[in-house]
Structure 1
């Protein structure tokens, strides 16, 4: 994965101000931003992402995204220690081929808002930047526990963007998991 901008994590006092400067609402005590360059046109990447049901194909912790209407979806995501968190998301900005912004609504388990941008990068393809403003459960302690269980949003954002890149450039996501069918055939 090629990072085009350094990962950003705002300090607690800067979080709301920095999020507002990016057009995000004030939901959260942590802010992160990750980027990757994908060798595909922005319109193609936007179209795949905009069909939110597709997100579970490359977002490791997303159990499901139920699209309720043009602007509302219900998310179920794996949490630390085998837990799940859920929320409804409302699209707050939709610029076809360029950007999608959202915010959680209706008393979510984890308050969050964010923005995904698709910026043409000439012959290199498209720079995809995900910015997420979220309320880490249990604050600093919750973030430490989440990191321990590999569920921390910064780690996941980097991994998910890498998988999105693989899927869009090659049509598949590389995995270290053994080929179960081959293993079963060899055992027979």
Structure 2
């Protein structure tokens, strides 16, 4: 009998049990809003995994992440920009790790934004590596918070797509393309 599964992210599934399948892959599912994004990067899987696994490097391409502090080999503290010039913070623990394949995490109790997820690295033949981010989270202030975050471009679905695109640029070219003048530069010029 033929295997009817495909290799697309489970979050794109048309099946009604798609969200169940996606969250079952998380050892410790925290959150109710599911985000899934993928990008193909023309670099070896081991290289991409190694860069991502050094969590202190994540702010180099994750626009909303101010910093990640390592507490120990499996625990990190995250400080992330939120709407209105505020920040949210949480500790995250690695719940599953397979070198060069995946990193899964879950926030600890008391997180400003309860979340869990996984980053998968899968060979794409001559094209490099498919990197897939699957994130489950609870937005602060529920649905209203999600709408506000979307208005300020701070919603995880928007950020995941942009962050993966920046990761691709950084890994393939060594830099991230920006506008000729950044918002900060424009603000300084008009002040």
Fold-level match, TM-score > 0.5? yes
Residues 24 and 115, structure 1, Cα contact 8 Å, conserved in 2: no
| C-alpha deviation, 1:6, in angstroms | 6.9
Q: Report if the CA contact (8 A) 2:11-2:35 is conserved.
A: yes
5 Å-filtered alignment, 1:1-188, equals 5=8, 8=11, 17-178=20-181
What is aligned with 2:4?
A: none
Distance 1:151 1:44 in 2: 28
**What whole-Å deviation, never above 9, does each CA across 1:49-103 have from its counterpart, x for those lacking one?**
0000000000000000001110000000000111100000000011000100000
Give the distance between the partners of 1:148 and 1:172, measured in 2 at CA: 28
The offset of 1:141, in angstroms, is 1.1
Q: Does the Cα contact within 8 Å between 1:37 and 1:124 map onto a contact in 2?
A: yes
- The structure-2 alpha-carbon separation of the partners of 1:16 and 1:137, relative to structure 1 and needing over 3 Å to count, comes to farther
Q: Deviation above 4 Å: which 4+ runs of structure 1?
A: 4-7, 13-16
TM-score between the two structures when normalised by the length of structure 1:
0.86
Q: Is the 8 A contact 1:58 1:167 kept in 2?
A: yes
CA apart distance, 1:139: 1.7
Q: Distance in 1 between matches of 2:178 and 2:130?
A: 24
Residues 19 and 25, structure 1, Cα contact 8 Å, conserved in 2: no
> How many residues were matched structurally?
176
